[in-house]
Structure 1
Amino acid sequence: MSDRTVDARQAQEEKMGNGNGQLSGAVIAVAGAGGPAGRAALRRLAEAGATVVGADNDPERLSEAVDAARYASGGATVTGDTVDLLDLQSTRDWATHIEKDFGRVDGLVHLVGGWRGSETFTKTSLDDWDFLELLLIRTVQHTSLAFHEALQRSERGRYVLISAAGASRPTAGNAAYAAAKAAAEAWTLAMADYFRKAGGAEGPTSAAVILVVKALVHAAMRAERPNAKFAGFTDVDDLAEAITGIWTKPATEVNGHRLWLTEKP
């Protein structure tokens, strides 16, 4: 057994025994941890008492996010791994080593995002679809396939997808983006059906849930556009709070549901 594994398990045992946060003892992975939403999620989950393992394809950005979360949460257990989520085996290896090092996986928060659009429907570029299919669908497929068994083994496993209102009401210039988001939602709902069936007559103990936003906003965006209203946008700190709250609700209440953080279209 590696020193890293021993240290990680000791830290987890201490947290489970002594932590007072609402997520004390939980081990939660965050995919796309280096972006603004990922940074907010790392920080809030750590403040709630969870051991948090972030992943991003940019090691410098990930390191900054991990350090910021540790500092803000008073030295909580926050680690980071550079992972290629477009590679299924790499994603599976990430899930395996988290469960090996910490003894469990109680959540995967999927925050890999990106946007491409066009002025009109007829000007839609299928190159945009190729890009978004990888970023918004393939990464969801890989993380869900890599983590679903570990999440089912947990007594409070949660898979959390962040989606967009446009998936339910696409606009002409957002055909590729809306279609990709809708596909990611469908995939996640299929995972929810897996959890439902695995729970049998007593109902699921794990859940796959979708948080729906219009768009996200963060402090840097507000600083760059001080006069913008960002109407209907969800602040990344509010999103992080909503993510953390998923673990306070019974699996039967959230599994297979879209939870709206903005007005329904």
Structure 2
Amino acid sequence: MTLTNGTGDGQLEGAVVAVAGAAGPAGRATLLQLAESGATVVAADSDPQRLAEAVDAARFAHGGATVTGDTVDLLNLDEARAWADKTEKEFGRVDGLVHLVGGWRGSSSFADTDLADWELLHNLLVRTVQHTSLAFEGALKRSGNGRFLLISAAGAAKPSAGNAAYGAAKAAAEAWTLSLADAFRRAGGEEQPPAAAAILVVKALVNDAMRKERPNAKFAGFTDVTELAERIAGVWSKPTAEVNGNRLWLTPQP
């Protein structure tokens, strides 16, 4: 399934979209794009200073946009549920959860894999997905046009020897997200699920700061965070039945 670009022309007017892991480069780009598209954006991160900077940047870029920030520890299920409940109570609905919590650890070979990396990546890439999906499932169903969007990597489908922990964690997060998609399917049938869970797959992400740090690097096949943000916003332009349970490839499928 191929995504169309987001238009940024009020296509999400009136929608309420939560963004987990909002303080990183992809999060900042997504806050900007969602605000430009007319959404009310509810951002969360565990770093209050970086979160405040990201929220302020989105507000400044799009005067009049509603962009709020909550410091949330997504490794705590109770905090994730409290964030979801607060968001729905305050804004009356939740139409999306964009999951941008990330991290990477790798090794020079399979034999050199450090299982401490697995512990870290399991928490960052799997546990946070479990908590946000469990917390937001009900609100997304009630929306009638909800989206749960996981950002994943092509390495989940074809992991390299030095990325065993990363690839396994991404694959687990994808499987969990597809289980959520099945829950949506069971709630409304194949043709009319009340919400959609989908996976946007990239090779890796790049941003302007990375290019500045490595001016000679080509970043071949990488997806710019601004393109990712446009694609995220564009997912709401497709019917839930077309989106639910799909991997949406932003890079060639391995």
- Provide TM-score, normalisation by structure 1: 0.92
Paired positions, count? 246
* Matching residue of 1:3: none
**3-state SS of 2:151 partner:** strand
Aligned pairs for 1:78-97 (under 5 A) are 78-97=67-86
Match of 1:135 among 124, 128, 143: 124
Q: 1:203 to 1:121 in 2, by over 3 A?
A: same
Distance in 2 (alpha carbons) for counterparts of 1:243 and 1:201: 23
Q: Is the 2:17–2:96 Cα contact (8 Å) retained in structure 1?
A: yes
Distance in 2 (alpha carbons) for counterparts of 1:32 and 1:245: 20
Residue 49 of structure 2 corresponds to residue 57 of structure 1: no
Residue 107 of structure 2 corresponds to residue 118 of structure 1: yes
Residue 149 of structure 2 corresponds to residue 160 of structure 1: yes
Which amino acid in structure 2 is aligned with residue 133 of structure 1? H
Aligned-CA RMSD value:
0.8
Which amino acid in structure 1 is aligned with residue 213 of structure 2? E
* Matching residue of 1:184: 173
Q: 1:232 to 1:202 in 2, by over 3 A?
A: closer
Which amino acid in structure 2 is aligned with residue 74 of structure 1? G
Q: CA deviation at 1:202?
A: 4.3
Residue deviations 1:180-237 (CA, integer Å, cap 9, x gap):
0000000000000000010136421310000000000000001111111100000000
* Matching residue of 2:197: 208
**3-state SS of 1:204 partner:** coil
Q: Is the 2:191–2:241 Cα contact (8 Å) retained in structure 1?
A: no
**3-state SS of 1:177 partner:** helix
* Matching residue of 1:7: none
**3-state SS of 1:226 partner:** coil
Q: Is the 2:109–2:162 Cα contact (8 Å) retained in structure 1?
A: yes
Task: From the two aligned structures, give the one with the greater helix fraction.
Answer: 1
* Matching residue of 1:233: 222
Structure 1 consecutive aligned stretches of length 4 or more whose deviation exceeds 3 Å: none
**3-state SS of 1:79 partner:** strand
Higher relative contact order (CA 8 A, sep 6+): 2
* Matching residue of 1:6: none
Which amino acid in structure 1 is aligned with residue 212 of structure 2? A
- Provide TM-score, normalisation by structure 2: 0.96
Distance in 1 (alpha carbons) for counterparts of 2:239 and 2:34: 18
Percent of residue pairs identical: 72
Residue 206 of structure 2 corresponds to residue 217 of structure 1: yes
Higher radius of gyration, 1 or 2: 1
